[in-house]
A and B are shown apart, each in its own frame.
Chain A
Amino acid sequence: MKRFLGRTIFFLMLVPLFLVLFFQTLKVLKPKSVENSYLKNYYKTLQHIEAHKDDCKIVFIGGSNLAFGLSAEDIEKEFGIPVFNFGVKCDIGIKKPINDVRPYLNKCDIVILSPEYENLIDADYYASGRFEVEYVNYDFTNVLHSFKAVEYFAQFLKKVLLGFIKGNLKPYSVSSSNYNGDIVAHKNSSESYSNFHTYNYNLAHIDKLAKLCDSAFAGVNYYLIPPVTFQGRLDEATKLYLDEYYAEHFNYPIKIDSMTFGRESFFDTDYHLKYDFVSVRTGKVSSFLKQIL
């Protein structure tokens, strides 16, 4: 028994020692490209929101349908108040951006959510991509937090490997967005998307989102608008029940039909609008904002 316990304890001591060595190695290995990665936009925009935490502002929260398909800059010019586009990547999930933006909100702010349809699909509502976005901002100095670094590193490797296998790593970086958070790097892209998907939805995720928003945005005016999508992704019955379900749980001023676009309007995915169509979507959102401002 003594030998068993002695060796078990010795092993349990070796593990943290290994972890320290491992994290130091990760620190050395952390690629410089991470510092300039597209996901850094998340923190860049968050910092800008923080800088305006005492001002009345409009914050859009969602996935990349917002980042690529809305001009917060134009809305800001039109209404004369700070407007931020906090939509970076669908698989960060919706919970993390809501929780991260929460400390910087005022009662005079307006929050407009536009969760991706993908956020309504599977059980991974809180989304695995949050690890990637945390990884890019990770400094490995906090030992306790570092336990997560193993996974962040794995997620990062996955991203690099997938990009390598596909051979189509997007040229977006931290400098692809403007101050307001809008991605503008696709301005002159002529790419067209062709591989469109349809999915099933789980309404339970809308319930969870509604509960989350109730607690996160207490006292703040918040609305939900549908993400952009292509015509034909949702049949009429699905659109109807999703519209009804959203309206039951949220202030829901714009219906799904207003946010559907022809297939020719998308460039690299079935939720990224070509730059030329951004103004169309922004115009529709502005029309609604005029009614409440």
Chain B
Amino acid sequence: MLFNSTEFLLFLPIVFVLYWFLLGKNLKLQNLLILISSYVFYGWWDYRFLSLIFLSTIVDYTIGLQIHKQPSAKKQKWLLWGSIVFNLGVLGFFKYYNFFVDSWIDMFASFGYEIKSVWTLNIILPVGISFYTFQTMSYTIDVYKKNLQPTKDFISFASFVAFFPQLVAGPIERASNLLPQMLKERAFKYEQGVQGLRLILWGMFKKVVIADNLSVNVDAAFNNYQSLDGGSLLLGMIYFSFQIYCDFSGYSDIAIGTSKLFGFELMSNFKYPYFSRNIGEFWRRWHISLSTWFRDYVYIPLGGSKNGKWKSIRNIFIIFLVSGFWHGANWTFIVWGLFHAMLFLPSFVAKNNRKYLNSAIGGARVFPTFRETIQIATTFTLVTIGWVFFRSESINIAINYLYNVVTRIAVPTQFRFNLIYVVIILIFEFSFKDRERDPLLYKNRLLRWIMYILITVVTYAWFFKEQNSNFIYFQF
């Protein structure tokens, strides 16, 4: 089921009413309702793959308990590896099997050996597999590290794995954050509910109005990169940067907002990444749940930055490479990851990658300083170049696209009107740049309500035109 569908508009209030009014005083039944609702939500897309989620749930539930019971550290480690091999095995089969087979065949072909591809399979990629696999792995790893007590409550654990607001496109929750919330009694809080609705509204607006409108021009630009002028292609690149941001952060906002309606707090996934002043800051603001996952479960176990410069550089390349590969079985994603590693490296070596840890751009001022503006523009330009690899079907196409932008640069003849969507999103986001969980919370009540109504009306109007368009991150 998609958030931007009529089904979800009916599904959400029904579950909300049952959850608070019918089962409001019974935690176990509330969790059971979450589990059933989550399976309905997921099964709406393809019920066959529910078995995969269920299997993943049983395996990690059992291994979590076994690790806790097992006194031998060696056996605990074996159990942990069992979980990792199972989860990555399932992910690898569904997501990467054909990629590896085809890559081998291509490699042999490049040496002159033509091999008939009898190993390639017709595999459907289950929606959200990369997200819930990482979420369940975080559970067993945390139990192994003794950061978390395993739960014996299977329903709560299954609800944690399949929690419908974030099941298919994150945020990838840590067991240590979400599972304790599943096990604790929840009470409805007015402020939390209002924040939730606000986030849902803002997320819908970003997805339905901004991302879906930009996608038309983005598709046209990337489909016709051989014939369009450089200016129009440049707009196509910029639009994709905003399309993917509004699409994905819109989903995250709706997920976080929906969770709030049920009394849950999910982690923030985006903190206005296009206002970043360097690449390090960008990665602290973009897809936070994934980058911190890689930091905690890959980078730090590999030694992080504590084992000398060269090992640190190696570790950085590994996490960016893995992060790129996580997005999909295509060399374009790997190049995208490596490109970001190259961008990140200079600031890491110069030790200024952690320069803007907590400060919001502009500080207390209304507008950023000139220096900050240049920094933001530079970071955005680099990130946008990276997105061309991310969006293109092959590395060759991406390079040709960028080549055509440079060599045919001119005043754009196409796609100019949609710049208005970029301007709108920038103005809005800048106006609440330091509070990603409270968009649209203007101090003036009248202004706030006018904004609510305007955004609802505009989103409503576009909703019925664009409904059921997929979120980009569903494919990952």
Contact = CB atoms under 8 A, between A and B. Distances in A.
A binds B: yes
Interface of A: 1, 3-4, 7-8, 11, 14-15, 18-19, 22, 121-124, 128, 147-148, 150-151, 158, 161-162, 165, 195, 197-200, 202
Given A123-B219, A124-B216, A165-B416, A147 B460 contact: yes
A161 B190 CA distance: 43
Given A15-B453, A22-B457, A199 B190 contact: no
A123 B223 CA distance: 10
B461 A150 contact: yes
B197 interface: yes
Contact of B223 (A1, A19, A151, A200): A200
A122 B223 contact: yes
A198 B224 CA distance: 8
A199 B458 CA distance: 33
B197 A200 contact: no
Nearest to A151: B461
B417 A162 contact: yes
Given A124-B216, A195-B413, 11 more contacts: A3-B190, A4-B190, A14-B453, A15-B453, A18-B453, A18-B457, A123-B216, A128-B216, A162-B416, A200-B226, A202-B223
Nearest to B227: A198
Given A122-B223, A199-B227, A15 B417 contact: no
A121 B222 CA distance: 12
10 contacts: A4-B190, A11-B449, A121-B220, A121-B223, A123-B216, A150-B457, A162-B416, A165-B416, A197-B228, A198-B226
A77 to B, nearest CB: 39
Given A3-B190, A11-B452, A199-B224, A122 B413 contact: no
A121 B224 contact: yes
B270 to A, nearest CB: 26
B188 interface: yes
Interface of B: 20, 188, 190, 193-194, 197, 216, 219-220, 223-224, 226-228, 413, 416-417, 449, 452-453, 456-458, 460-462, 464-465
Contacts of A128: 216
A162 B226 CA distance: 25
The binding surface of chain B is classed by DSSP as helix
B417 A122 contact: no
A151 B464 CA distance: 11
A150 B460 CA distance: 10
A232 to B, nearest CB: 12
B20 to A, nearest CB: 7
A151 B460 CA distance: 10
A127 B312 CA distance: 52
Given A128-B216, A147-B461, A4 B227 contact: no
A168 to B, nearest CB: 12
Contacts of B417: 158, 161-162
Contacts of A161: 417
Contact of A8 (B20, B197, B216, B416): B197
Contacts of B462: 151
B213 to A, nearest CB: 9
A1 B457 contact: no
Nearest to B213: A128
Contacts of A162: 416-417
Contacts of B224: 121, 199-200
Nearest to B454: A18
A147 B220 contact: no
A11 B223 CA distance: 42
A15 B449 CA distance: 10
A198 B223 CA distance: 12
B464 A15 contact: no
B216 A4 contact: no
Given A121-B220, A148-B461, A151-B462, A4 B416 contact: no
B457 A19 contact: yes
B458 A150 contact: yes
Contacts of A18: 453, 457
Contacts of B197: 8
A1 B188 contact: yes
